[in-house]
Every structure is written in structure tokens, then in C-alpha cells.
Amino acid sequence: MDPDAPRPQRDHASEARNLTRVQRWVLSVLAVTTIFHLVVGLIVAAITLDDPRPGAQVGLCLIAGAFGVIAVAAALAIHGRRPLSAWLLVGLIPSAVGIYLVSR
């Protein structure tokens, strides 16, 4: 220990802010990943229906799109941002791909 060079004091508030930021990112990534697994499952189910009724495949893709929008809104809410924004359109991308694949 050198009395002329004391150890720097730790900034506990800054460490708490950094930990909170990391926790928010981990929680939002987990939430979005989990919900998007459901979205992909719905789209795969729509594609692999054996004898679908009219509109059943598109209906499953639209439900998948609703869950995609919910995933993006949840991530925005976790980060403390307004859930209603243009980013919600990102949640509709898997649904659009699913509708394209079903209609081929």
C-alpha cells in the first residue's frame, strides 16, 4: 500500500446503472427470443397443415404477426420506451414471410 497513491473509490451508483442496463438487455432478448419461437412455430404449423380450411393458413400467419408485434412491444416496454412506435412493424416481418410461403 502506497500512501501517496491511494486506491480509487468505487462508484456504486455507476455500477448499479450498468447492472440494470445489462439486466434489461438480457430480459428483453429472452422475451423476444421466446415469443419469436412461438411465431416461427405458428408459421411452420401453417405451412405443414395437411388439409386446411380456407383461410386457416393465412389466419395462423396473422396470429403469428400479432405475437411478433407483442414481442417487439415487450422489448420496448422493458427498456422503458413507448411501446407504440414504428418498430412494431418489425414484428410483422415473420408474418409476411409466412404468408408468402403459404401462398406459393
Q: What is the pLDDT of residues 11-48, one digit of tens each?
A: 777 877 888 899 999 999 999 999 999 999 999 999 99
What's residue 91's pLDDT? Answer: 95
- Asked if 65 contacts 42 with a C-beta cutoff of 8 angstroms, the reply is no
Q: What is the mean pLDDT of the chain?
A: 92
Least confident of 12-16, 24-28, 58-62, 83-87: 12-16
The percent of residues in the chain predicted with pLDDT above 70, rounded, is 99
Measured distance CA(90)–CA(88) in Å, rounded: 5
| Cell, residue 75 | 422489448
CA nearest 79: which of 3, 10, 20, 24? 24
CA distance 36 to 32: 6
Backbone φ/ψ region at 55: left (φ over 0), alpha (ψ -120 to 50), beta: left
